[in-house]
Amino acid sequence: MINKIAPDIATALAPVKDGDVVMISGFGDAGSPTELIHALIDKGVRHLTVINNNAGNGLIGLAALLKAGAVAKVICSYPRSSHSVVFEDLYGAGKIALETVPQGTLAERIRAAGAGIGGFYTKTSVGTPVAHGKEVRTIDGADYVFEAPLHADIALVKAQAADRWGNLTYRLAARNFGPIMCMAARHTVVQVRTIVALGDIDPETVVTPGIFVNTVVHEPNPMSERHAVQQGQGYP
Amino acid sequence: MTAPPKGFSAAQMAWRAAQDIPEGAYVNLGIGLPELVADHVPHGREIVLHSENGLLGVGPTAGPDEQDEELINAGKKSVTLRAGAALFHHADSFAMIRGCHIDLCVLGAFQVAANGDLANWSTGTADAIPAIGGAMDLVAGTKRVVVLTKHVAKDGAPKLVDACHYPLTGQGVVSRIYTDLAVIDVAQGTFVVQELLEGLSLADLATWTGAPVQAGQKMRRMIAEVS
C-alpha cells in the first residue's frame, strides 16, 4: 500500500542534509511551509542554498532559518520588503550570497527542472545587467537570453489537502510556487492542513498529482505569518 | 531647484490611469502606486486584473473584515476576487505575461528615459539590495507598458530623464507615464505632454523633468473625479 503520510515532521525531514539546495514555496504571507522550516532549524542543518520568491519576513519561517545561520545563499526574485530585516542585515554584513532572478525566469527555471527541459530562451532581461555573461540568441528577429533549469535536493511546500498518494489541492494565492517546486526537487515534502481519504479529491480538481510528492505531513493549524510578523514573534 | 507644486494625490493618479483602460482588457498592476488602480476601475467597465502570484479577476482591495493572508496581490496586500476569477501557479502566471496574453501593465519606476527605457529594480550602488520581482518579465511580454509614478524622486531629482543611469529593467518599453503633474507619452524618443496639472505651464513642467518636454497637439488640463 502506498502511504506517503509521515508520522511526524522530523521523520519527513530525515533526508535533508548539510549543503542541500532547498526550494521553499510561498509568496509573501501566502503558502510558506513555516512549520517545516522551523523543524529544519531544529534539525540544525547548515550551508543550505534556499530558493524562494523572497528572502524572509519578520523573525519567523525563512527569516528565522537565515537568522539561525543555516543558509549560505538565497536565490530569489525580490529580497526587499518592509519586514526583510534579517536578510538585509546578513547581506549588508557580507554573510549571505544572493542571486536575484526575474520572477518569471525563476518560475520557468524551476518548471524546466521539473519537466526535464535543459533550459530555455526568454526575452526577459534582454539589454539589462541580468543578461550579462549569458548566451543571447536571435530567434525570428528578436533577442532571447538562455536560462538554465534550477534543480533542488529538497522542496518544502505548503498545500491545503492531500491523500495518502500525495495528490494535492491548494488554497487561493497560497498555490504560487508549490506545484512547480514539487516537480523540480529530488525529494518533496509537503505540509497540509487536511488529510483526506484516497478518492476524496475529485480527479478533476487535483492540482499536484502525487507522482511529484514524496512525503506528506499533517499540520492542521499552520501559524499565520502575517500575525507573527505583526507581533514580532520569533523562532525558536 | 524648488520643489514641484502639490499635484495629484495617489488616488487621483490611479483614477486617471484607470480611465484609459479599455473594456475587456487583461491588466497587470505592479506593486506600490499601481495597486491603487484596482480601486478606481470605472463602474460598468469589465476589466480583468491579473496578479503575478497566480490570480486573474482580482477585485478591489479587501476591507478590514475581508482580510485573508492567502488571498494577496503582488504587493502582498489582501485583495478580493470577482466572479469569474481563476487561480493558477507561478509558471502559468508568467506564461500569461511572457506569452503576450496581458494587454496592459501599470508599473512603478525609479527612472523612465525619453526613449522608453525603464529602471525600477536597483539603484546600482554597492549596498543596494536588487529586487527585480516580475517587472522584467512584464516589460518583456506585455502588449503595452505604462508607468504610474511621482514626477520627481523623494530627493527632488527628476524621474523622467534623458537616459537612465540606474540598471535597466527593459529597453524602450514604456508607452505612457502618469505622474502627479502630467500625462506624458513616449513618442519617437521624446516626452510628449498630453495633459498638464491645472496652474502649471509646460516651462514649469520642464523644470522638474530631466529631458526636453514637447506639447502634444491636443494638450489639455489633467482632471480627476476623486480627491
Question: What's the pLDDT tens digit per position in A10-29?
Answer: 999 999 999 999 999 999 88
A124-182: per-residue pLDDT in tens? 999 999 999 999 999 999 999 999 999 999 999 999 999 999 999 999 999 999 999 99
What whole-number distance in Å separates Cα of residue A157 and Cα of residue A193?
12
Q: Residue B71: which pLDDT band, with cuts at 50, 70 and 90? A: very high
Q: Which of A81-90, A201-210, B135-144, B194-203 has the lowest mean pLDDT?
A: A81-90
Q: Residue A83: which pLDDT band, with cuts at 50, 70 and 90? A: confident
What whole-number distance in Å separates Cα of residue B35 and Cα of residue B54?
15
Report whether the peptide linkage leading into residue B60 is cis, meaning its omega lies within 30 degrees of zero: no
DSSP bridge partners of B107: B147
**Residue numbers of the domain that contains B68:** 10-221
Residues B102-128 have a mean pLDDT of 94
* Residue B68 domain flag: yes
| Sign of the dihedral defined by the CA atoms of residues A50, A218, B93, B78, in that order | negative
Instruction: Flag whether pLDDT at B221 surpasses 80.
Output: yes
A199-228: per-residue pLDDT in tens? 999 999 999 999 999 999 999 999 999 999
**Nearest Cα residue in chain A from B169:** A128
B74-85: per-residue pLDDT in tens? 999 999 999 999
Tell me how many residue pairs between chain A and chain B have CB atoms under 8 A apart: 142
Query: Chain A within 8 Å of B185 (Cβ-Cβ)?
Result: no
pLDDT at residue A111 in the model:
98
One-letter amino acid for residue B131 of the chain: A
Residue A37 · residue A223 · CB < 8 Å: no
Q: Within 10 Å of residue A82's Cβ, how many Cβ atoms?
A: 9
B139-191: per-residue pLDDT in tens? 999 999 999 999 999 999 999 999 999 999 999 999 999 999 999 999 999 99
Q: What distance in Å separates residue A42's CA from the closest CA in chain B?
A: 26
Instruction: Flag whether pLDDT at B110 surpasses 80.
Output: yes
B70 belongs to the catalytic site: no
Considering just the CA atoms, what is the radius of gyration of chain A in Å? 18
Closest CA to A29 of B119, B78, B104: B78
| % of chain B with per-residue pLDDT over 90 | 94
* Residue B5 domain flag: no
Residue B186 · residue B177 · CB < 8 Å: yes
Query: Chain B within 8 Å of A77 (Cβ-Cβ)?
Result: yes
> Which of B125, B129, B171 is most worth mutating to test chain A (most A CB atoms within 10 A of its CB)?
B129
Q: Would you call A205 exposed, middle or buried from its count of C-beta atoms within 10 A (0-12, 13-18, 19+)?
A: exposed
Residues of B in contact with A111 (CB under 8 A): 91
Q: Residue A189: which pLDDT band, with cuts at 50, 70 and 90? A: very high
Closest CA to A189 of A169, A218, A151: A218
Q: Do residue B91 and residue A110 have CB atoms under 8 angstroms apart?
A: yes
Instruction: Tell me how many degrees the CA angle A36-A38-A39 measures, rounded to the nearest 5.
Output: 65
Residues A189-196 have a mean pLDDT of 98
pLDDT at residue B1 in the model:
63
A34-76: per-residue pLDDT in tens? 999 999 999 999 999 999 999 999 999 999 999 999 999 999 9
Residues of B in contact with A124 (CB under 8 A): 98, 136-137, 140-141
pLDDT at residue B70 in the model:
96
B8-28: per-residue pLDDT in tens? 999 999 999 999 999 999 999
Q: Would you call B47 exposed, middle or buried from its count of C-beta atoms within 10 A (0-12, 13-18, 19+)?
A: buried
Residues B199-220 have a mean pLDDT of 97
Residues of A in contact with B167 (CB under 8 A): 128-129
What whole-number distance in Å separates Cα of residue A26 and Cα of residue A229?
15
Q: Which residues contact A229 (CB under 8 A, 6 or more apart)?
A: A29, A57, A58, A59, A60, A83
Residue bearing cell 549588508 = A92
Query: Chain B within 8 Å of A134 (Cβ-Cβ)?
Result: no
One-letter amino acid for residue A17 of the chain: K
Closest CA to B61 of B53, B73, B52: B73
Q: A17-118+149-231 in CATH: which number?
A: 3.40.1080.10
CA distances from A37 to A74, A184, B63, B171 (A): 15, 18, 31, 39
Q: Residue B4: which pLDDT band, with cuts at 50, 70 and 90? A: confident
Q: Do residue A28 and residue B72 have CB atoms under 8 angstroms apart?
A: yes
What whole-number distance in Å separates Cα of residue B64 and Cα of residue A25?
27
Q: Which of B52, B66, B198, B225 is catalytic?
A: B52
Residue B59 · residue B80 · CB < 8 Å: yes
Q: Would you call A37 exposed, middle or buried from its count of C-beta atoms within 10 A (0-12, 13-18, 19+)?
A: buried
pTM for this entry = 0.96
Q: Within 10 Å of residue A221's Cβ, how many Cβ atoms?
A: 7
Instruction: Flag whether pLDDT at B86 surpasses 90.
Output: yes
Closest CA to A58 of A88, A96, A103: A88
B132: domain CATH number is 3.40.1080.10
Count of domains observed in chain B = 1
